[in-house]
Structure 1
Amino acid sequence: MDYASIQVEHIFRKTKGDKYIWLVVIFLSIISMLAVYSSTGSLAFKYQGGNMEYYFMKQVMMILFGLLLMYLAHKINYTYYLRISQLLLYLSIPLLAFTLFSGVEINDARRWLTIPVVNVSFQTSDLAKLALIMYLARVLAKNQGNIKDFKQGFLPVMLPPMLVCGLIAPSNLSTASILFATCLLLMFIGRVNMKYIAIMAGAGILLLGLIIVVAMNTSFHARVDTWGSRMQDFFGHGQEAYQVQQSKIAIANGGFFGVGPGNSSQRNFLPSPYSDFIYAIIIEEYGFIGALLLIVLYLFFLLRCIKLFTKSPGAFGAFLAVGLSFSMVVQALINMAVVVHLLPTTGVTLPMVSMGGTSLWFTSLAIGIILSVSRNVEQEVEQNEGRKT
């Protein structure tokens, strides 16, 4: 056995947590590499002189670094994330505000912030999403004794989501909506009074209306126009979006078994076939079988996290696992629904599959935190079994 094999075997022995979740991650990573390699041909000819391996190798490196982050995150006791959640939230809020007014603008939306010196851009909403779910899990776990009380139980979990989602919404309404829905779910399973949850939902709708009114009279009006045109296209009152047309063609080409890996024709016509519409390329090349496999992987991942929720001895770990997994899986299902034209175009990517850098890394961190909870649950079970014997 060579040195590399010994090192790999050593890493596997050191890797803890739900093995099924690790397996889902490996499958998604393989699908991502295959789909990105197939969908970046036009990009390679446009920017890299036809070097088809460039974006493939870049995605491989991104995934490997993401797996490293996941591994490191899962080695840390999940209670550590309880201690830093408040700090991360307080850091995220000013970053979101700065991004909203001074971030990098792409397609009339300011979502990106560039880190000086290293020149790396990231979506501040990715950090805020992780921080808010961690913080909400912390507050819900801490306040279980008086969770039915309006002042002590409800207000501490209402104000941060309203503020964070309100800052994200003008530039990224879909992400804000997913995050807000995740917060409502956490409040529900955290035993917050249903009357208060209804108040929260109503306040969210009012906040969205206020954002639209303000945006219409400021420099953000282009985003409202974009939302309106997408809704018109979806409900048939406008011309069907070009990417939706091309996506439907890709799905029709795929049929039941697909046209085979690397044989997609729509990758040359679909805008962003490597990110927002990568699911269309997967359906075209792997057919209904590939489409169904991906759905099953995400739902199985969610199922394992729900099982983790039922087994976790601590409330914080339980809320953390459900919140992070729900946010990721709902994003995936929304992306798929957009591709098959069940929802209007949103711009959200397919987690762990779409080509990306920092977004993939934040998702990897989230899964690593879930695996940290799983690792500690396993240790708790082993200790209990040891006491019985």
Structure 2
Amino acid sequence: MVESILSRAKGDRWIWLIVILLSVLSLLAVYSSTGTLAYKKGVGTEQYLFKHLVMIVGGLALMYFSHLLDYRYYAGISKVLMIVTVPLLLYTLIFGNNVNDASRWVTIPIINQTFQTSDLAKLALITFLARMLTRKQEQIKDVRKSFLPIILYVGLVFVLIAWANLSTAMMLFGVSILLLIIGRISIKQIGAVCLFGFVLLLGVIFLGPRKATYASRIDVYLHPEKADPDKAFQANQAKIAIATGGIFGKGPGNSTQRNYLPHPYSDFVYALIIEEYGMVGGVGIVFLYLMLLYRCILIVTASPKAFGALLAAGLSFSLSIQAFANMAVAVGLGPVTGVPLPLVSMGGTSILFTSVAFGIILSVSRDIEEKKGKEKTVEDRVVVGEIPAM
């Protein structure tokens, strides 16, 4: 059965390999980093490891089934996702679980699993934008028919996410701008989108419920030497973890900062990896994400259809920007945010949606491979004389 599944796994083999490698590393990092959390909860570390393993296996299964579906079907699915996403984001803001003045999560009944609605929103907006830009290519310069519907969807989703999760909203907005550039939107219109986004950003910062948190985090980042030790605690502990890791690290399971970092299994998992695996491990992680981005760019450039190229570009840029944002925060190159490291941080639904995104990218890759296979078959039949040469 396993051999049958593997034989049906198509698409870029390097992406499959890198995703599996990151998943294995994730298991090691989560098992090492959840000891303190397990102690506080009065449970065994194995409980968190098993739950994480279930999510990883579930994610790989979703990735497999997502890549089997022809990527063109995601154009229709994107409309349904957008219809569901907007009211769900509104529901989350009003009735979601409130943590640190941010309502980002909704608890799924029966299974009691938290669900971050921005994960669904990212997938929905990117697929929907790819569809809109593809469908409206012949009218792409028309402000009323093409530009306004696109900017309204982008602006609405941005505000609904940014009210509680500004960092995720800003990254998604940046990916949207990249898609607009690839989709041949004029420079003047892109400038208008950026201005519109900047106005929305100022509104969220100065009118939103987390304005004090934003000001504090930026102040700590810009003036760490003057910052309140309590407010700079996370960033300082991450720096200690990185500094004590050295070149080869302390070894798997030997982290000491996992007992001090507030979220060593999610937001600061990269700092823990460097502490245990050293600079070698940290550079290795960066290389894996760069390799993922490179393989995805090859898929974008090889895709014969605009929708496939836009879909692969949007999803790959979104995941790559998120990964490098997480790592930048861990090493002190940016203010603290709550962005997880894709496929590595412990999480529930974020792993599942990340896996679906890679499955869609692999679906585009599979389509490219199948078309090349058919072209080669035709060429071979011409060579042997089965088909007359033109």
Task: Give the TM-score taking structure 2 as reference length.
Answer: 0.94
Q: Which residue of structure 1 lines up, in the alignment, with residue 233 of structure 2?
A: 242
Whether the aligned pair in 2 keeps the contact of 1:168 and 1:176 (CA below 8 Å) is yes
State the match for 2:38 in structure 1: 44
Greater mean deviation of Cα atoms: 146-155 or 184-193: 146-155
Deviation at 1:370, TM superposition (A): 0.7
SS at match of 1:356: coil
Cα distance in 1 for partners of 2:45, 2:325 equals 29
TM-aligned CA deviation for residue 386 of structure 1 = 1.6
Given the alignment of the two structures, is residue 32 of structure 1 paired with residue 19 of structure 2, yes or no? no
1:194 positional shift: 0.9
User: C-alpha separation between the residues in 2 aligned to 1:120 and 1:368?
Assistant: 23
Q: Would the aligned equivalents of 2:113 and 2:348 in 1 still touch at CA under 8 Å?
A: no
Match of 1:232 among 210, 215, 219: 219
SS at match of 2:98: strand
Determine the C-alpha separation between the residues in 2 that align with 1:156 and 1:242: 44
**Deviation for aligned residue 1:8:** 1.7
Q: Deviations over 1:214-246 (max 9, x none)?
A: 32xxxx2xx111011000100005335101111
SS in 2 for 1:114: strand
- The number of aligned residues is 376
d(CA) in 1 for partners of 2:241 and 2:111? 38
- What's the offset of the Cα at 1:209? 1.4
Report the 3-state secondary structure (helix = DSSP H, G, I; strand = E; otherwise coil) of the residue aligned with 1:282. Answer: helix
Give the Cα separation in 2 of the matches to 1:382 and 1:243: 52
Report the AA paired with residue 4 of structure 2.
Answer: H
Are the equivalent residues in 2 in contact too, given 1:147–1:192 (CA < 8 A)?
yes
Q: How does 1:72-221 map to 2 (within 5 A)?
A: 72-215=65-208, 220=209
Q: 1:258 aligns with which of 245, 249, 259?
A: 249
* Alignment-derived partner of residue 267 in structure 1: 258
Say if 1:137 and 1:316, in contact at 8 Å, map to a contact too.
yes
Q: Which amino acid aligns with 1:372?
A: S
Identity of matched residues, %: 53
CA displacement, residues 163-222 of structure 1 (integer Å, 9 cap, x when unaligned): 00111001000000010000000000111101111110111010111223432xxxx2xx
SS at match of 2:146: helix
Contact 1:179 1:327 in 2 (8 A): yes
Q: How do 1:238-387 and structure 2 match up within 5 A? A: 238-239=227-228, 241-387=232-378
**Letter aligned with residue 334 of structure 1:** A
**In 2: Cα distance, 1:383 partner to 1:30 partner:** 35
Please say if 1:61 is aligned against 2:54: yes
1:110 alignment partner, SS class = strand
Q: Which amino acid aligns with 1:239?
A: D
Distance between the aligned counterparts of 2:243 and 2:4, measured in 1? 46
Amino acid at match of 2:348: G
* Length-normalised TM-score, structure 1: 0.94
Give the whole-Å Cα distance in 2 for the aligned partners of 1:11 and 1:357.
24
Shift of 1:318: 0.6
**Whole-Å Cα distance in 1 between the matches of residues 369 and 228 of structure 2?**
54
Q: Which deviations, in whole Å up to 9, do the C-alpha atoms of 1:252-282 show, x marking residues without a partner?
A: 1111111111111111111110000000000
Write the deviation string for residues 345-387 of structure 1: whole angstroms up to 9, x where unpaired. Answer: 0110101000011111111111111111111111111111122
Partner Cα distance (1:9, 1:370) in 2? 23
The aligned counterpart of 1:12 is: 6
1:56, distance to aligned residue in structure 2 (A): 1.4
Matched residue of 1:275: which SS?
Answer: coil
Runs of 5+ in structure 2 lacking a partner?
381-390
- Residue 90 of structure 1 aligns with an amino acid whose one-letter code is I
Separation of aligned partners in 2, 1:385 and 1:48: 60
Q: CA distance change for structure 1 residues 123 and 70 in 2, over 3 Å: closer, same or farther? A: same
Q: 1:264–1:285: 8 Å Cα contact kept in structure 2? A: yes
Counterpart CA distance in 1 for 2:90 and 2:33 is 34
Counterpart residue number, 1:388: 379
Distance 1:121 1:234 in 2: 30
The code of the aligned residue for 2:194 comes to A
Give the letter aligned to residue 3 of structure 2: E
Task: Provide the rounded CA distance (Å) in 1 between the counterparts of 2:39 and 2:205.
Answer: 40
Question: Distance between the aligned counterparts of 2:50 and 2:271, measured in 1?
Answer: 22
Which is further off, 233-242 or 330-339? 233-242
**CA-atom RMSD in angstroms:** 1.1
Would the aligned equivalents of 1:48 and 1:54 in 2 still touch at CA under 8 Å? Answer: no
* Contact map agreement 2:75 2:128 (CA 8 A) in 1: yes
Deviation at 1:148, TM superposition (A): 2.4
Structure 1 stretches lacking a partner, 5+ long: 1-6
Give the whole-Å Cα distance in 1 for the aligned partners of 2:170 and 2:236: 25
Deviation at 1:119, TM superposition (A): 2.8
TM superposition shift of 1:44: 1.7
Amino acid paired to 2:329:
V
Is the contact between residue 258 and residue 284 of structure 1 (CA under 8 Å) also seen in structure 2? yes
Query: In 1, are the aligned partners of 2:122 and 2:172 still within 8 Å (CA)?
Result: yes
What's 1:22 paired with? 16
How far apart, CA to CA, are the structure 1 residues paired with 2:112 and 2:33?
A: 26
Counterpart Cα distance in 2 of 1:162 and 1:213: 17
8 Å CA contact retained: 2:114, 2:348: no
